[in-house]
Structure 1
Amino acid sequence: MAVGPVEIFVIAFDDPDFQGEIRAELERLKDGDIIRLVDLLAVRKTEDGVIEAIQRSDLEADEALAFGAAVGALIGFGAAGEDGMELGAVWGLREMADGHVFDDADKWRVADAIEPGQGAIVALVEHRWAIPVREAVRRSGGRAVAARWVTDADLIKLGKGSTSVALELDNL
């Protein structure tokens, strides 16, 4: 199973008004094989403190297990070399047995971090568009050495003359 680069992001909402627009955009990107939603956890805390949560993944059961095994093997390799790969793969299979990365403990951590009336989304997204680019780079003898998303806040800092962001960008 070829796995593209995976990104985790957290989005906060001071006054969530979910009308399906985010879901529609994620579907559009999935249909174009641009991204795949590995796991998404959306949590909203009502004004009276009631926790509402939904979870979603684009992975079929067998894809979730293969993803878990692949990621687990990489973690195992990083921890203990080739000897750790098999243990890591087994761990990854077990972690993805329910088809999700995020669990109930994650839901409660998010709920504890938001105030009544607020919401948050934690998403793990696979960048499918990057798989052929990554493979072309590998065939050409290259490898990724750093990556960083440049945020709106980074651009604002650059405009204010901050050198810390510029130095980080120079290191890429």
Structure 2
Amino acid sequence: MSEYELSELGPVDYLVIEFPAGHQNFRGEIAEELLRLAEAGTIRVIDAIILTKDEDGNVDASELADAGDLGELVKLEAELAELLAAEDVEKLANAMDPGSVAGVLVYENVWAGPFASATRRAGGQLIANGRIPIQAIIASLEADEALETTGA
């Protein structure tokens, strides 16, 4: 990346999505949505790998290019920076259950780039961020609804 591109970079996040053994139902839908987000300019994929963990706990990491026929994902693969190091992969794999497959995605939030750049030019720096899991939001809303229903 050039110095200009780095100064305009939006926040960079990563996701690790595990698909437990027996619950893997890949139909191409994930790839379609990922491409849609990238083509819309919402995100820019920086790195993507696939982790498999066998029943003995051995982990195999594959770059997207090694995953076989990429179909339309070949558009994204050409731009990947391969940012994740072996130590990163090892740490991420520790969270996986044996027999599972996980996708690791590192992406720039392109939509937030102008705001992030303006913040940096004003002397600001990100000191904390986080994400609230959707399951926690659903549980909270259900608990609030139960309180309203019972009147307690």
Which segments of structure 1 move beyond 6 Å, counting only runs of 4 or more?
47-50
Alignment partners' CA distance in 1, 2:116 and 2:95: 36
Is the helix fraction higher in 1 or 2?
Answer: 1
How far did 1:123 drift?
1.7
Secondary structure, aligned partner of 1:155: helix
Query: Could you list the runs of 5+ residues in structure 2 that have no partner in the other structure?
Result: 66-75, 145-152
Secondary structure, aligned partner of 1:131: helix
Q: Of 2, 7, 10, which aligns to 1:4? A: 10
- Shift in CA distance, 49/136, structure 1 to aligned 2, threshold 3 Å: closer
Match of 1:42? 50
Letter matched to residue 23 of structure 1: A
Alignment partners' CA distance in 2, 1:49 and 1:37: 28
- Shift in CA distance, 154/42, structure 1 to aligned 2, threshold 3 Å: same
User: 8 Å contact 1:110–1:120 — kept in the other structure?
Assistant: no
How far did 1:133 drift?
3.1
How many residues are treated as equivalent by the alignment? Answer: 124
How far did 1:142 drift?
8.6
Match of 2:137? 155
| Identity in percent | 31
**Taking structure 1 as the reference length, what is the TM-score of the superposition?**
0.53
Match of 1:94? none
Cα RMSD after superposing both structures = 3.6
Letter matched to residue 9 of structure 1: L
- Shift in CA distance, 145/118, structure 1 to aligned 2, threshold 3 Å: closer
**Taking structure 2 as the reference length, what is the TM-score of the superposition?**
0.59
- Shift in CA distance, 24/50, structure 1 to aligned 2, threshold 3 Å: farther
Alignment partners' CA distance in 1, 2:55 and 2:127: 45
Structure 1 residues 57-76: aligned runs within 5 Å: 58=76
Letter matched to residue 13 of structure 2: E
User: 8 Å contact 2:10–2:117 — kept in the other structure?
Assistant: no
Query: Could you list the runs of 5+ residues in structure 1 that have no partner in the other structure?
Result: 65-98, 162-172
Alignment partners' CA distance in 2, 1:8 and 1:154: 19
How far did 1:111 drift?
4.9
Match of 2:70? none
User: 8 Å contact 1:16–1:117 — kept in the other structure?
Assistant: no
Letter matched to residue 127 of structure 1: N
The Cα offsets for residues 31-90 of structure 1, whole Å up to 9 and x where unpaired, read as: 1111011111111246698865432494767xx7xxxxxxxxxxxxxxxxxxxxxxxxxx
Q: Which has the higher contact order (CA 8 A, sep 6+)?
A: 2
Q: Of 9, 21, 38, which aligns to 2:29? A: 21
Structure 1 residues 89-168: aligned runs within 5 Å: 99-107=81-89, 110-111=92-93, 113-135=95-117, 143=124, 146-159=128-141, 160=143
